[in-house]
């Protein structure tokens, strides 16, 4: 399985995360425990680790060259004393993927690179934390950044995205597609499950709708996203 490499440095996403001091104490398998969200290349998903080397459950959404697929998996992992680790995902129905990672932000985040033979993708992961997910009726405001490319050219979008708690999106943003810059308002809709995953449709006024899959991390203060439109290879981050 390939997560699909983006055609520019995915490591740029690290500049949007709160990268704390590297862990002072030695790490173990227990340093990577609980529910985590991840974005690797054009894949976004969630996994559950048991703190003892097992990935007990997981799922992801992948935009593979314009075809969106959904996968479930289990797996194994190992974390060394220096807070670097390896993991293997075994997909239901066949296939596997491997990756190396380094924990950061007090062992609540990680930088990841896929090591599957013939594949090349990078990304990040973050612990879900304690959060109530779903359409809670409570409005939340996020700053959003989306990077990648589509059939027109490079994509660089910045927006303020307001989720009203009932499935509706408003806000405004600046959208740079292939060098054409549009500053405008946005509308849209979103879904969110109690499992802290969902979809968002953002429609900038005068432009085509943009569709994303996301996972919630950082105790609800952050979303990791990929665009699911067939014409785009775009990833994103939304932070409160």
Separation of alpha carbons 169 and 190, rounded Å: 7
User: Which tens digits make up the pLDDT trace of 97-149?
Assistant: 999 999 999 999 999 999 999 888 999 999 999 999 999 999 999 999 999 99
**Distance of alpha carbon 226 from alpha carbon 27, whole angstroms:** 30
Burial 37-54 (b: 16+ CB within 10 A, else e): bbbbbbbbbbbbbeeebe
Task: Report the C-alpha gap between 35 and 58 in whole angstroms.
Answer: 9
Could you give the CA distance from residue 45 to residue 54 in angstroms, rounded to a whole number?
A: 17
Asked if 99 and 176 sit in the same domain, the reply is no
Contact (Cβ atoms closer than 8 angstroms) between residue 213 and residue 229: no
Asked whether residue 48 is domain-assigned, the answer is yes
Judge if 43 and 123 occupy the same domain: yes
What's the pLDDT score for residue 12? Answer: 40
Looking at the fold, whether 14 and 118 belong to one and the same domain comes out as yes
Domain that holds residue 209: 140-239
Q: Is pLDDT at 3 greater than 70 in this prediction? A: no
Q: Are residues 93 and 122 in the same domain?
A: yes
Q: Is the model's pLDDT at 7 over the cut of 60?
A: no
Task: Please give the pLDDT value at position 6.
Answer: 52
User: Of the residues 104, 127, 150, which one is the last residue of a structural domain?
Assistant: 127
CA 235, chain centre distance (Å): 7
- Specify whether the CB–CB gap between 55 and 74 falls below 8 A: yes
Q: How many domains does the chain have?
A: 2
Phi, psi of 47 (to 5 degrees): -140, 160
Which of 106-111's residues contact partners 24+ apart within 8 Å by CB, and which partners? 106/20, 106/21, 106/23, 107/23, 107/27, 107/31, 107/32, 107/83, 108/218, 109/17, 109/18, 109/19, 109/20, 110/32, 110/36, 110/85, 111/11, 111/14
Task: Give the CATH number, domain containing residue 195.
Answer: 2.40.128.120
Assess whether 19 and 115 both reside in one domain.
yes
- Is 2 within a domain? no
pLDDT tens for 179-213 read 999 999 999 999 999 999 999 999 999 999 999 99
Strands 67-79 and 84-91: antiparallel
Banded model confidence at residue 47, pLDDT cuts 50, 70, 90? very high
Percentage of residues of the chain with pLDDT beyond 90: 88
Same domain? 77 vs 152: no
CATH assignment at residue 82: 2.40.128
Q: Across the chain, what does the average pLDDT equal?
A: 92
Using the structure block, give the residue that is written with the tokens 């932000």.
105
User: Does 107 share its domain with 22?
Assistant: yes
The pTM of this model reads 0.89
Residues 203 and 113 in one domain: no
| pLDDT for 20 | 44
DSSP reduced 3-state for 13: helix
Band (216; pLDDT cuts 50, 70, 90): very high
Distance of CA 228 to the CA centre of its chain: 12
Residues 195 and 118 occupy one common structural domain: no
Q: Are residues 113 and 159 in the same domain?
A: no
Out of 127, 148, 178, a domain closes at 127
- 16-30, 88-102, 111-125: segment of lowest average pLDDT: 16-30
Per-residue pLDDT of 58-67, as tens digits, reads: 999 999 989 9
Q: Does some domain include residue 3?
A: no
Same domain flag for 150 and 87? no
Angle of CA points 197, 97, 41, to nearest 5°: 55
Q: Do the domain assignments include residue 77?
A: yes
Residue 17 has pLDDT above 80, yes or no: no
Residues 115 and 207 in one domain: no
Of 127, 157, 176, the last residue of a domain is: 127
């Amino acid at each position: 399985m390939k997560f699909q490499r983006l055609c520019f440095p995915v490591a740029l996403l690290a500049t949007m995360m709160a990268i704390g001091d590297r862990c002072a104490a030695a790490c173990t398998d227990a340093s990577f425990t609980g529910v985590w969200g991840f974005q690797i290349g054009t894949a976004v998903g969630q996994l559950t680790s048991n703190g003892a080397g097992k990935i007990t459950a997981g799922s992801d959404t992948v935009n593979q060259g314009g075809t969106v697929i959904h996968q479930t998996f289990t797996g194994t992992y190992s974390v060394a004393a220096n807070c670097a680790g390896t993991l293997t995902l075994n997909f239901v129905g066949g296939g596997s993927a491997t990756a190396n990672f380094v924990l950061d932000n007090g062992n609540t985040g990680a930088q990841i690179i896929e090591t599957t033979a013939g594949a090349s993708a990078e990304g990040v992961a973050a612990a879900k934390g304690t959060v109530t997910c779903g359409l809670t009726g409570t409005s939340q405001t996020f700053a959003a950044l989306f990077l990648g490319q589509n059939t027109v050219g490079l994509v660089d979008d910045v927006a303020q995205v307001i989720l009203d708690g009932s499935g509706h999106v408003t806000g405004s943003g600046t959208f740079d597609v292939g060098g054409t810059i549009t500053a405008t308002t946005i509308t849209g809709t979103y879904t969110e499950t109690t499992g802290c995953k969902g979809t968002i449709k953002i429609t900038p006024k005068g432009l085509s709708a943009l569709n994303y899959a996301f996972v919630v991390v950082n105790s609800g203060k952050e979303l990791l996203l990929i665009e699911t439109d067939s014409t785009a290879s775009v990833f994103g981050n939304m932070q409160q």
